[in-house]
Amino acid sequence: MDCKASATREDLEFILLNEDAQPKPLPLSLLADITSDFSDKNIIGRGGFGIVYKGFIGNRTVAVKRLLRVLHFDEDGFYREIKCLMKVKHQNVVRFLGYCNETRGEMAGFNGTLVMAQEEERLLCFQYLSKGGLNNYINADASSALEWEQCYRIINGVCQGLHQLHQHNILHMDLKPENILLGNDMVPKIADFGLSRRLHEDQSYVITKNLCGTRGYMAPEFIDSNPENRAITKKCDLYSLGVIIMELLTGTREQCAVNDVLDSWISRLGESKTNSEVTRI
């Protein structure tokens, strides 16, 4: 899948502006150009699998995820992520614009001589969402805390996005606030499909030997199952969703008493809401 792409800035801008346009292979030279050669000043996020940069096309912005060059890179996982991203288009799933997998040669010293080293670059390009991850609004101070209506819309949007994934038999496997991105309109979009799996039509689960996901968001039955025979199902995503909803409504990632949560919402909603009304909400 070494993509000898010829897409231009104009092609990428067209994909960005036209939601019906299909993602396409993008040349490394283009992605380097729009990120100022992957300048540190354009870094907007770091994770265990890569670094995310802002990319600029005229007066518009995209996000470019440059995957880390590691010795035992999960090639199948990279292709799997692309396939999942290309399969789903939904307002609550981050828009995928294109991908790059190029091999380039670079002279390097080896045993006292210069050799041509082959270096693979793998990148993904997405729409840019200016408000960042939902995690920024959990444990936030009063100025950043979300109102009830915003919480409801975000929860509803994440549910709609996850339902769409499951309709396409895609299991996300790393649903958490950091992987739910928000734009200026605060519409949530599920992102980061690096651990995702896709079921065949006749499958209800996938077996893995690996623990997939983030502690605190992984279903207990998945963690505690036989390490040689762990079943990944849609229920794993639903457990993660439940944790996210709880954290969003309580405003914290720590355990807290129900009465403390009610008192917090009463003060935030104002005196117009009685205790019983908040309880019903």
Which residues does the annotation mark as catalytic?
Answer: 174
Is residue 107 within 8 Å of residue 118, measured between CB atoms? no
CA atoms of 151 and 47, how far apart (whole Å): 26
DSSP-H helix ranges across the chain: 9-17, 28-34, 75-87, 148-167, 220-223, 234-250, 258-269, 275-280
CA atoms of 146 and 42, how far apart (whole Å): 28
Say whether 131 counts as a known binding-site residue.
no
Is residue 171 within 8 Å of residue 207, measured between CB atoms? no
Is residue 195 within 8 Å of residue 176, measured between CB atoms? no
CA atoms of 107 and 218, how far apart (whole Å): 44
**What is the DSSP secondary-structure string of 211-263?**
--S-TTTS-HHHHSS-TTSEEE-HHHHHHHHHHHHHHHHHTSSS---HHHHHH
For CA atoms 57, 158, 75, 67, give the dihedral sign.
positive
Tokens of 239: 């457990």
Tokens of 38: 């992957």
CA atoms of 1 and 36, how far apart (whole Å): 25
Instruction: Give the residue ranges of the annotated binding site.
Output: 65
Instruction: Give the residue ranges of the annotated binding site for ATP.
Output: 65
